[in-house]
Amino acid sequence: MVELKEVLKDCEEVTYPDRTKLLITIRIDAYGGIWKFKINRGKTSILSEKKPLIHGWTYNRHLIFAIVKALKVLEDRFIGEKIEIITRLKFIEEGVNNLSQWESRNWRKLKNVDLWKKI
């Protein structure tokens, strides 16, 4: 199970003082038509391939999808470790911090429910 403390940082490099922790950076490039993520711990990095944006998907849906993919990589490689996710995006922070509330309301009025359920 992935434990989320805070939520993901989008579209910018991050200076993170604690190099023992995992850090995820997600980049959605609407102009270049790609998305990708990078996971760091100290000097070790896991970089996803650049993936094309999916026609008809919103920026928010691509971002949630990239988070799900990054968390899947972490789940497979860092089993049992706490993952701290940092964001500047309010909708991601509120979405992750309120997953149990959304679930208790049967996910009503939540966009991209299929992806939120995977987090």
| Domain-located, residue 4 | no
Taken in order 89, 81, 71, 106, the sign of the CA dihedral is: negative
**Containing domain of residue 14, as a range?**
9-116
| Domain-located, residue 60 | yes
The pLDDT of residue 70 is 83
Residuewise pLDDT in 10s, the chain (119 residues)? 333 333 333 333 444 455 566 777 777 776 778 888 888 777 777 778 888 888 899 888 988 888 888 888 877 777 777 776 667 788 888 888 888 998 999 998 889 999 999 98
CATH of the domain at 92: 3.30.420
**Neighbouring residues of 52: CB distance < 8 A, sequence distance ≥ 6:** 33, 34
**Neighbouring residues of 56: CB distance < 8 A, sequence distance ≥ 6:** none
| Domain-located, residue 34 | yes
- In this structure, the number of other CB atoms found within 10 A of the CB of residue 112 comes to 17
Q: Determine if the pTM surpasses 0.85.
A: no
| Tokens, residue 47 | 């970089």
Backbone dihedral region for residue 48 (phi beyond 0: left; psi -120 to 50: alpha; all else: beta): beta
| Domain-located, residue 100 | yes
| Domain-located, residue 2 | no
**Domain count within the chain:** 1
